[in-house]
Amino acid sequence: MNTQMTREEMIEALRWQIEAGADEAILDAPIDRFAEAPQAAPQTTPKPQTQSTAPKPQPRPAAAKAPPPPKASAPAPATPAAAPAQRNAGAHELAAGAKTIEELRAALQAFDGCALKATATNLVFCDGNPQARIVFVGEAPGAEEDRQGMPFVGPAGKLLDRMLDAIGLDRSQALITNTIFWRPPGNRNPSPDEVAACLPFVERVIEIVDPAVLVLVGGIASKTLLATNDGIMKLRGKWAAFETPRMSRPVPTMPIFHPAFLLRSPGQKRLAWRDLIEIRQRLDAETGTGA
């Protein structure tokens, strides 16, 4: 069979990979998966085949046949809150030892338990005020955050700033962080292992800041910290409670749409606005003074 691709097919295949999020080289040298294909043919089905389902070498997918690229807002895999705690006992210990946000940052710098650290340019941890009464937890750094080592500084971050401004807040009155502290290559969704590795540090941020209100920005943060498989469409706009054994009380917690989602779906801004008003009112009620 002729597996030679035309130039146009190669360009289409590359475009398909970029749209699917594979926009970075992870290894120094390319791997020719076609060359591997004959050995890789699975031999795992002992049952006789009644019809010919044996895998045939496939030509490179043309764009028309390609599956749709995963959306950046695709729901997260099953929540890592159920991930075995013993798998990252070291992370728990390291996080628990930090008494301030800066100590926690230093602990994360020394932490090698998340594979994303190897491919990221910078640690992206917190921005804002550790004394703030409100904490926002997003998803994971994107390209701009990775470059600058700061959360929410790309296009979604600009919209998050406008969302804060809409309720009279700025970064000096909020603490902003993420569920994941290193950029997943190509902005893919973080894996359950990656989320589990970072979770003790996210929890410790909330314990240290001890906010009056917690805002979970997008589906991944919401599922992770609320330990649920419900999606953001169901969770947004409803008050929940977040607590760890080291906290003296549960924190009122509101999931909201992620600004990256709102950039793609501006029609949903109406609901986001409603949620922001709720958050502002709760913050005022909890603090008695406004932020």
Q: Which is nearer to ligand URA, 140 or 226 (CB)?
A: 140
Q: Are residues 34 and 57 in contact, defined by beta-carbon separation less than 8 angstroms?
A: yes
Binding residues for ligand URA, total number by CB under 6 A: 13
Q: Which is nearer to ligand URA, 152 or 242 (CB)?
A: 152
* Site track 127-146 with ligand URA (rule: CB under 6 A), x = hit: -----------xxxxx--x-
For the bound state, the minimum distance from the C-beta of residue 82 to ligand URA, rounded and expressed in Å, comes to: 22
Q: Which of residues 162-201 bind ligand URA (CB under 6 A)?
A: 178
Question: What distance in Å separates the CA atoms of residue 186 and residue 209, rounded to the nearest whole number?
Answer: 31
Task: Identify which range of 13-21, 67-75, 108-116, 150-158 contacts ligand URA by CB under 6 A.
Answer: 150-158
Exactly one of 111, 136, 152, 257 binds ligand URA (CB under 6 A); which one? 152
Exactly one of 80, 113, 128, 151 binds ligand URA (CB under 6 A); which one? 151
Q: Which is nearer to ligand URA, 12 or 145 (CB)?
A: 145
For the bound state, the minimum distance from the C-beta of residue 233 to ligand URA, rounded and expressed in Å, comes to: 17
Exactly one of 76, 91, 156, 167 binds ligand URA (CB under 6 A); which one? 156
For the bound state, the minimum distance from the C-beta of residue 98 to ligand URA, rounded and expressed in Å, comes to: 21
Q: Got the DSSP string for the chain?
A: ---PPPHHHHHHHHHHHHHTT--S--SSS---HHHHHHHHS-----SPPSS--PPPPPPPPPGGGSPPPPPTTPPPSS-GGGS-GGGGHHHHHHHHT--SHHHHHHHHHH----GGGGT-SS----EE-TT-SEEEEES---HHHHHHT-SS-SHHHHHHHHHHHHTT--GGG-EEEES-SSPPGGGPPPPHHHHHHHHHHHHHHHHHH--SEEEEESHHHHHHHHT----HHHHTT--EEE--TT-SSPEEEEEE--HHHHHH-GGGHHHHHHHHHHHHHHHHHHHSS--
Q: Which is nearer to ligand URA, 196 or 221 (CB)?
A: 221
For the bound state, the minimum distance from the C-beta of residue 73 to ligand URA, rounded and expressed in Å, comes to: 11
Q: Which is nearer to ligand URA, 5 or 143 (CB)?
A: 143
Q: Which of residues 244-283 bind ligand URA (CB under 6 A)?
A: 260
Give the binding site for ligand URA (CB under 6 A).
138-142, 145, 151-152, 154, 156-157, 178, 260
